[in-house]
Chains A and B, each alone.
Chain A
Amino acid sequence: DQQVKQNSPSLSVQEGRISILNCDYTNSMFDYFLWYKKYPAEGPTFLISISSIKDKNEDGRFTVFLNKSAKHLSLHIVPSQPGDSAVYFCAASAKTGGATNKLIFGTGTLLAVQP
């Protein structure tokens, strides 16, 4: 049962255009969401996050939008750059009352930014 879903395995955009990566989740207990970026042969690196009390968080070229009613979030990258080419993972965590902050990851979307 995939609690965090990234339905697009890949996305190709032109340099300078907007990249929109989508993520859907099923667990209504999730209250914190993150995006990680992963280059080949490296571990994922944290990109941006959003708490469920917000619907938007912006950091430079990266903006994450959260639609709780639709259980959907998206990552916007604008303008896209060739160095943004990587696999992007959506992740979520739930406030379970325990201490574990384990992340539930989606399967990733491979973004290719064409020069």
Chain B
Amino acid sequence: GIQVEQSPPDLILQEGANSTLRCNFSDSVNNLQWFHQNPWGQLINLFYIPSGTKQNGRLSATTVATERYSLLYISSSQTTDSGVYFCAVERVGNQFYFGTGTSLTVIP
């Protein structure tokens, strides 16, 4: 299967700070998504980004498929950004391979 590594595993930020989360994967993929798992356990879609760069408000993501990594940028962090961020990759028709996640805590 595809190995997905996320870093850092844990991150504590002061409210208002910026951060970058990284996702490395071991093989070529057709699909890459970023999710935020909220305190209730729900997986919230952030980005569908098999390649290129996308922005949504204070969040943006970049995937460099040829180098097998993706980055998630969080700017001006808020306490509501706290939770676990997962990267997941897929080859079409097969399973998603999830990373181990980055646990983010934003303190006021």
Say whether A and B bind each other. Answer: no
- Please list the residues of chain B having a beta carbon within 8 angstroms of any beta carbon in chain A: none
